[in-house]
């Protein structure tokens, strides 16, 4: 399991990846060609994957992502050290905070 700031990246066994994720439309890359896992609303910094891979959104109120890295990769951010990731599938979850009666994604 890996953590960079408010992003948690957990390995997922290939057999546990839903079939719909393997054929789902992937999230678009940003203008720099990166897969953005989380964008800082205040700073504009991003937790991102600069290399090959696919990012697909899972259904749900917080839209967790599934990340496929067929060759491995690394998570980069302007204020954190890069984190190398072995090839495989990962669930990407943003940190949430509780507000009375609801949850929200933590803002950067």
Which residue, chain included where needed, has tokens 């990846």?
17
pTM for this model (two decimals): 0.81
CA distance 46 to 78: 7
Q: Which of 50, 55, 45, 61 is nearest to 9 (CA)?
A: 55
Q: How confident is the model at residue 48 (pLDDT cuts 50, 70, 90)?
A: very high
Q: Which residues contact 28 (CB under 8 A, 6 or more apart)?
A: none
Q: What is the pLDDT of residues 74-92, one digit of tens each?
A: 999 988 899 999 999 999 9
| Distance, CA of 49 to CA of 33 (rounded, Å) | 9
Is the pLDDT confidence value at 30 over 60? yes
Place of tokens 């009375």: 100
- Does the pLDDT of residue 97 top 60, yes or no? no
């Amino acid at each position: 399991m890996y953590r960079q700031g408010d992003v948690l990246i957990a390995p997922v066994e290939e057999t546990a990846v839903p079939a719909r994720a393997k054929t789902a439309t992937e999230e678009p890359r940003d203008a720099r060609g990166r897969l953005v896992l989380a964008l800082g609303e205040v700073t504009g910094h991003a937790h991102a994957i600069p290399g090959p891979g696919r990012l697909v959104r899972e259904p749900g109120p917080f839209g967790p992502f599934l990340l496929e890295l067929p060759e491995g990769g690394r998570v980069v951010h302007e204020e954190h050290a890069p984190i190398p990731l072995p090839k495989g599938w990962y669930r990407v979850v943003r940190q949430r905070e509780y507000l009375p009666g609801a949850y929200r994604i933590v803002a950067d």
